[in-house]
Amino acid sequence: MNWLAYGIVLWVALGLELGLRPALALGPTGIAPSIVIPLVVFVAMHAPGMAAAWAAVAAGLLLDLTFPIGLEGGGEVRVPGPMAIGLLLATGATTNIRGMLIKHNPLTVAAVSVIAALIAWLAAWVLLGVRDMYGDPIAFSAGPEFGRRMLSSLYTGLVGGIEALVLFPIAGVFGFQSVVGPRRMVPR
Amino acid sequence: MEPRRLLGVAVVALVVLSLTPARHLAFAGWFGTLAQTLAAPVSHPVSRVVGWVTPGGSLPAAEGTADDWRDRAEAFETLYLREREENARLRSLVEDLQAGVAIAPGVSVRQLSASVVAASSDLASGLLTVRTPAGAGVSPRATVAIVEGIQLLGTVDSASPLLCQVRPITDASSPRLEGVVILGDSRDAPRLLCTLSPTGSGTLAGPVESAAGLAESEGLQRGQRVRLADPTWPASAQQLVIGVVERIDSNPDQPLRKQIVVRPLVDLSRVREVVLRIPIAGGVGGGTEGGGP
């Protein structure tokens, strides 16, 4: 896997997520899609397991660091870990099922993105919920967050399908060993 | 280390960090700022485009939204009011300069506006430090400072290329000066002579007499203007206003004569901007320049 190419695409995806997320949010509900998660899914579907795992950790760590969590007494904190762990679990699930998937279909990316987003956000929800239980002063309310993350996962699937249309044509730059892109009929 | 084992260590570290209390995670803020800075070349243009495409959308107080435009409107209103105030100040300054020229049209002086940068640090001294305009040619004793076009402030005591010290006429250390009280509005109105000394409380006081030296005080009223008529002062200072008659008292030493208390038109210890009347060498009426009180 070409890490430089992945780094550049991840940088663009993170920038888009930071810039577009407020605009894509459904009003004041906070339900918004992720642009980074479909990329991680795409990599998990095609890259070697270990590379996909590290790619997920890197992407998750960046998400953790760029989205601060408010503190009840004022201020904010960046918690490195929840999304990194969540995306690692999501990547593990994807690599386990990828043998059964039609990899070259954008709808597959969309569907797997929904599952991956569910796993990642639920893992992060659990970890943040544990912090909330032991009295850490983060502004986190488990109930509303759960529903928000469920619906955001569905929304991420929608965005993931569109994102796949961009990722398939540039898949060659990632240096995946598996064949990526539309199948061609090869004459015998 | 094996990649798989390294990943295991990373996972453990991430779990620990995930559960670490917020008060111990201050260090992550620096990395977060770094990550956001690195992502900014992409996220910032995207945010701007979003702001243009969805005006007043879901970005509260972001660039391009209604709140943003309201903030901009307020900023421009503040700027407009500030400029209007500056315009009024400049108009006032122009009027002052024109009034100063009209006082003594035959005297060749150059008038320059200058800011008072400091009062004296010594409480006992009333000297004002004035920023000297570059190349102004301010000379001690010959240069007079005025305010509001006609009000005499004092003479320049000392001057350097950048700053000069002005001694207000109300300062306790200022010398006595002679003036005339104009008893009417016309140019030919009768006048009374007076010799005024600073009282130390922002006013000047002294006896008043007729031109013939008689103890006449008929027509003397409060509010009448007192102008400088002192040959020891530069020509450019003559007929400038010393102040208005605030009080008329009997002279305790000479009961038949009156004594007046004169208050300048403005509080001379609080002026922030002055006009320096600098004599032009060889100019008309410059005969008495350089004399000074």
pLDDT tens string A35-76: 999 999 999 999 998 999 999 999 999 999 888 777 776 667
- What residue of B is the nearest CA neighbor of A58? B10
DSSP sequence for chain B = --HHHHHHHHHHHHHHHHHS-GGG-HHHHHHHHHHHHHHHHHHHHHHHHHHHHSTTSS-TT-TTSHHHHHHHHHHHHHHHHHHHHHHHHHHHHHHHHHHHHHH-TTS-EEEEEEEEEEE-SSTT---EEEEPPTT----TTT-EEEETTTEEEEEEEEE-SSEEEEEETTSTTSPPEEEEEE-SSSTT--EEEEEEEE-SSS-EEEEEE-TTS----TT--TT-EEEE--TTS-GGGTT-EEEEEEEEEE-SS-TTSEEEEEE-SS-GGG-SEEEEEEEPTT-TT-TTTT---
A-chain CB neighbours of B26 within 8 Å are: 77
Provide the percentage of residues in chain A whose pLDDT is more than 90: 42
Number of inter-chain CB pairs under 8 A, A vs B: 122
Which of B31, B45, B47 is closest, CB to CB, to A65? Answer: B31
A-chain CB neighbours of B39 within 8 Å are: 11, 14-15, 18, 62, 66
A-chain CB neighbours of B18 within 8 Å are: 79-82, 85, 127-128, 131
Q: What is the tens place of the pLDDT at every residue in B131-187?
A: 887 777 888 888 899 988 789 999 888 787 777 888 889 887 788 999 999 887 766
**Residue A18 confidence (pLDDT):** 81
Contact B25 A20 (CB under 8 A): no
Strands B225-228, B163-168: pairing kind: unpaired
ipTM value for the complex = 0.84
Mutation site, B1, B18, B25, B42, interface A, largest A CB count within 10 A: B18
- What residue of A is the nearest CA neighbor of B16? A81
Contact B3 A50 (CB under 8 A): yes
pTM of the model: 0.50
Which of B18, B36, B43 is closest, CB to CB, to A127? Answer: B18
